[in-house]
Amino acid sequence: MIACAAPADDSGKRGFRRGAPVPRLPCHKSDNCIRTSRRKQLFVAQENIRLYIEKFGENNVGVLTITTPTRCLSATEFQKKWHSLRTNVLLKLFPTGMWIRERQPRTGSWHMHAVVDLGYDIRTNFPHDEVRRRRYANVPRELRKTWKQVRECSERYGFGRTELLPIKRTGRGCARYLTKYLGKALLSEKAVGEERCRLFGVWGGVRFVYSQFDWVSNRILRKRKAWLARINDLRESVALSDVYGKRWWFSIGEALLNVILPIEYYQVPVNGSPQWDELGWFMYQRDCARYSDLDSIEARRRQSLLEFFTAEGKAWDMSPSHAASYAMRRTERVDAESRQYVLDLDSEGSPA
């Protein structure tokens, strides 16, 4: 939503003019200030930490925080220290764990959060108020022993304050809290040049969610690419960039998004037959609505094809007239192939 700033008296004052729109605020799910996104990394980290806590139990999992004694802005320097501490110390104390690296808001120095399985209940009857006042008499002896080991070893590896506490509320809330930095990562000027910096990791071989996935909402986009590959008779090993060039999306991407695909590309297979789902039906209706000035669905589909193939012809440096002629020929060919494709499907599904 765009707000409008309307000062009572803007004469002689610097800033927004009366009624001028205020710049759009960045979305918490994407770093649109720097034209990149960590939404997938945020989801993977949150789900892994949530499922880790669910697997080992909220009572048995502790939240470990490790900081540096002095200012540490270098990701490389911090990572070397953290790698040494994790492989030589923490792996022996805690066989499994998951870590999140983040910068402190004011100083920009790196520090680390981790969830670790202690193998016993540290949450029940934990004296949070007494620990906050630095009174540790009622803290279980075994946990105090672990505190001492972590503190002494951390100092030897160049770290400062350490803290190992039980989860206060829920595992889901803990996962959201620990990964909040990923949602606003790289907005600091101190992070310039670290856009590919790894901020989440695991040790001990326990991982539940991997980053090799795509969002369900991107299904129709994948279908559009599959349709484009089919009408060009491309094999699976041939990429679209090999046909249209590396910057193919900037040439025909917008036109491709406006194409009304055959209905089977919007549907999903259910028990061997294509069926409409909510996403497919919504996208199909939205695509058809772009050409609402035309009466029939067939006319709308042909118009979307004509516009796409015209854009394709221009992408290949055709003149406007040649691009229009090319679009007419390609549209007729695609129509004929689509009709034949439907006939083939019908014949395959008909009884012998």
pLDDT tens, residue by residue, 86-130: 999 999 999 999 998 888 877 878 888 999 999 999 999 899 899
pLDDT(339) > 70: no
Is residue 48 within 8 Å of residue 207, measured between CB atoms? Answer: yes
Is residue 306 within 8 Å of residue 327, measured between CB atoms? Answer: yes
pLDDT of the residue at 181 = 72
Out of 114-123, 212-221, 238-247, 320-329, pick the least confident. 212-221
pLDDT digits (tens, 9 = 90+) for 153-185: 988 888 988 999 999 888 888 988 888 877 665
pLDDT(25) > 70: no
pLDDT of the residue at 310 = 93
Q: Please name the residues in contact with 123: beta carbons below 8 A apart, sequence gap of 6 or more.
A: 58, 59, 60, 166, 167
Percent of the chain residues past pLDDT 70, beyond the cut: 78
Is residue 248 within 8 Å of residue 228, measured between CB atoms? Answer: no
10-17 average pLDDT score: 46
Out of 28-42, 71-85, 91-105, pick the least confident. 28-42
pLDDT of the residue at 19 = 52
Q: What is the chain's mean pLDDT, rounded? A: 80
Pick the CATH number of 39-203 from 3.30.70.1910, 3.40.50.11810, 3.65.10.10, 3.30.1330.30: 3.30.70.1910
pLDDT of the residue at 183 = 62
Q: Where are the domains of the chain?
A: 39-203, 216-349
- Cα–Cα distance measured from residue 37 to residue 35, given in angstroms and rounded to the nearest whole number: 7
- Cα–Cα distance measured from residue 146 to residue 158, given in angstroms and rounded to the nearest whole number: 18
pLDDT of the residue at 55 = 92
